[in-house]
Amino acid sequence: MKNELTARQNEIFNYIEESIEENGFPPSYREIGKQFGISSTFGVKRHIDALIKKGFLQSESNSCRTLSLPQNQERMPARENNTVEIPLLGRVAAGEPVFTEENIEDTLTLDQSFVRSRSKCFALKVKGDSMINAGIIEGDFVIVAHQSEARNGEIIVALLGEETTLKRLVRNNNELLLMPENDRYEPIKLNNREDFAIIGVVVGLYRTY
């Protein structure tokens, strides 16, 4: 049984299928990107790779022109679902747009409830044990709403210089702190630090076993 497609994957698959049936060959990456407003061929390729992995397409090489539909295989249309794809970032660098293609390692397909109505979310894989008392362990994926402000007590993803860190933001009188959720680590004082920036607020947690 094939994995379900996301809404965007289903749209791209239908477009490719129609092109093959009408023209005898698939559209190019550029044509797919233009049709669906995807600015880079890398972005298109991620969707194509997902369709190949899920068994809806097959390819003889890395060229989009070699795409074909699997033979002797029943293709059922993906049913409507409430899933959403968000980028999994491998890094966040100071001075760079968060969603630049170079930062995106993969995508996570999640239930829409993880992001609710937020339009700009990304995922990061947790490294280290500084947030274990908040139930966040190494290897988890945190779902982050991309924003530059946060309320007192929220768990945030922040940049300190070139380092990305996951901590709780605490305002204590006139002091601003990044608080770990592990007694082995000390709070990080932020007053007068010019290399501090909020990248986003944690809105969900995804864990695999």
Q: Please list the active-site residues.
A: 130, 167
Beta-carbon contacts of 55 under 8 Å, excluding residues fewer than 6 positions away, are: 2, 3, 70, 73
First CA to last CA distance, the chain: 21
Residue 13: burial class (beta carbons within 10 Å; 0-12, 13-18, 19+): buried
Token couple for 146: 């991309």
Distant-in-sequence contacts of 41-48, Cβ < 8 A, 24+ apart: 42/101, 43/101, 46/104, 46/106, 46/107, 47/8, 47/9, 47/12, 48/12
Q: What is the separation of C-alpha 43 from the centre of its chain, rounded to a whole number of angstroms?
A: 12
Token couple for 139: 């290897």
Q: Give the helix/strand (H/E) hosting 77.
A: none
CA–CA distance, 174 with 71 (Å, rounded to integer): 67
